Amino acid sequence: MTQRLVTEAGFYNGEFLKPGQHYESDGSETEIPEVTDRLTKDELLAIATDRGVEANAEMTKAEIVTAINAKV
C-alpha cells in the first residue's frame, strides 16, 4: 500500500478527506474518489447497481459512496 495525497475534497477509502490529507491506496483505481461531488445521487446509485452494491434512494450520497468503496 502507498500513501496518496488528496488534491480535492472527497471520499477516499470510505472516509471524507480534505486537500492536503493522505490516504492509503493499494494502487487500484476502482474507488470513487473526488468525483463524488460532481456525481448526482442517481449516478452513484447506478454505479452501485453496476457493481452489485446494495444501495437505495433513501441513502445519502456519502452512504452510497462508502458502500461502493467497501465493496471494492
Looking at 11-20, 21-30, 47-56, which range is the least confident one? 21-30
Percent over 70 (pLDDT), the chain: 79
pLDDT at 33 over 60: no
Q: What is the mean pLDDT of residues 1-24?
A: 79
Reference 43, options 25, 13, 68, 8; nearest CA is 68
pTM above 0.85, yes or no: no
47 contact partners, CB below 8 Å, separation of at least 6: 32, 39, 68
The arithmetic mean of pLDDT across residues 42-71, rounded, is 88
Distance (Å, whole) CA 69 – CA 10: 12
The owner of cell 434512494 is 57
Q: Which residues pair with 4 in a beta bridge?
A: 23
3-state secondary structure of 25: strand
